[in-house]
A and B are shown apart, each in its own frame.
Chain A
Amino acid sequence: MRSPTRPGTGLDVALFVTCLVDMFRPSVGFAAAKLLEDAGCRVVVPDAQTCCGQPGYNSGDRADAIAIARQVIEAFEGYDYVVVPSGSCGGMISHHYPALFADEPAMKARAEKLASRTHELTGFLVDVLGVAPTPTRCDATVTYHDSCSGLRELGVKAQPRQLLAGVEGVKLVEMTGAEICCGFGGTFCVKYPDISNAMLDDKVADIAATGAGTLLAGDLGCLLNMAGKLQREGRPVKVRHVAEVIAGMTDEPAIGEPAP
Chain B
Amino acid sequence: MKSTAHAFKDNVGEALRDTNLQQSLSIMKVGFVERRRGAVERMPEFEALRDRARDIKNHALAHLDFYLERFEQKVLALGGHVHWAPTAEDARRIVLDLCQQANARTVAKSKSMIAEEIGLNEHLEAHGIAPIETDLGEYIIQLRQEPPSHIIAPAVHLTKDQVADTFHEHHSKLGFTRRLTERNDLVAEARHVLRQKFQQADVGITGANFLVAETGSSMLVTNEGNADLSNTLPKTHIVIASIEKVIPTLEDAATLLRVLARSATGQEWSSYTTFNTGPKRSGDPDGPQAYHVVLLDNGRSNVLGSEMQDMLRCIRCGACMNHCPVYGAIGGHAYGWVYPGPIGAVLDPQLLGLEEAGNLPNASTFCGRCESVCPVRIPLPKLMRHWREREFEHHLTPPTVRKALGLWAFLAKRPKLYRAATGIANRALALFGRAEGRYDALPLAGGWTRHRDMPAPQAGGTFHAQWKARGGATR
Contacts and interface: CB of A to CB of B under 8 A. Distances in A.
Interface of A: 17, 19, 21-27, 29-30, 33, 42-51, 53, 55-62, 64, 67-68, 71, 148-149, 152-153, 179-181, 183-200, 202, 224-225, 227-229, 231-232, 252-253, 255-259
B12 A194 contact: yes
B32 interface: no
Contact of B458 (A25, A71, A196): A25
14 contacts: A26-B458, A44-B473, A45-B472, A56-B408, A59-B397, A60-B385, A68-B409, A185-B364, A191-B401, A195-B16, A231-B453, A231-B455, A253-B437, A259-B437
Contacts of B16: 194-195, 198
A200 B451 contact: yes
B13 interface: yes
B473 A42 contact: yes
Given A59-B397, A199-B325, A200-B452, 6 more contacts: A58-B366, A68-B413, A152-B371, A191-B363, A192-B362, A227-B455
A44 B474 contact: yes
A46 B453 contact: no
A56 B474 contact: no
Main secondary structure of the interface of B (DSSP, over half): helix
B440 A56 contact: no
B355 to A, nearest CB: 15
B99 interface: no
A232 B452 contact: yes
B250 interface: no
Q: Which 7 pairs show the lowest CB-CB distances between chains A and B?
A: A185-B365, A190-B447, A60-B392, A228-B452, A60-B388, A256-B455, A181-B367
Interface stretch (B126-134, B233-241, B462-470): B462-470
Given A45-B467, A198-B329, A259-B437, A232 B362 contact: no
Interface of A is mostly: helix
A57 B460 CA distance: 31
Given A23-B425, A51-B412, A224 B325 contact: no
A181 B370 CA distance: 12
A52 B438 CA distance: 26
B457 A258 contact: no
B473 A231 contact: no
B422 interface: yes
Contacts of B445: 190
B434 to A, nearest CB: 6
A56 B405 contact: yes
Interface of B: 9, 12-13, 16, 325-326, 328-330, 362-369, 371-372, 385, 387-393, 397, 401, 405, 408-409, 411-413, 415, 418, 422, 425-426, 434-438, 440, 445, 447-448, 450-464, 466-467, 472-475
A50 B458 CA distance: 19
Contacts of B457: 23-25
Contact of B325 (A22, A42, A180, A191): A180
B37 to A, nearest CB: 11
Nearest to B413: A67
B451 A59 contact: no
Contact of A23 (B363, B447, B462, B474): B462
Most chain B beta-carbon neighbours within 10 Å: one of A26, A56, A187: A26
A229 B452 CA distance: 5
A65 B129 CA distance: 54
Contacts of B391: 60
B369 A181 contact: yes
Contact of B448 (A45, A190, A195): A190
Contact of A60 (B364, B371, B390): B390
A83 B475 CA distance: 15
B457 to A, nearest CB: 5
A47 B365 contact: no
A136 to B, nearest CB: 20
A45 B367 contact: no
Nearest to A179: B369
A42 B474 CA distance: 11
B453 A62 contact: no
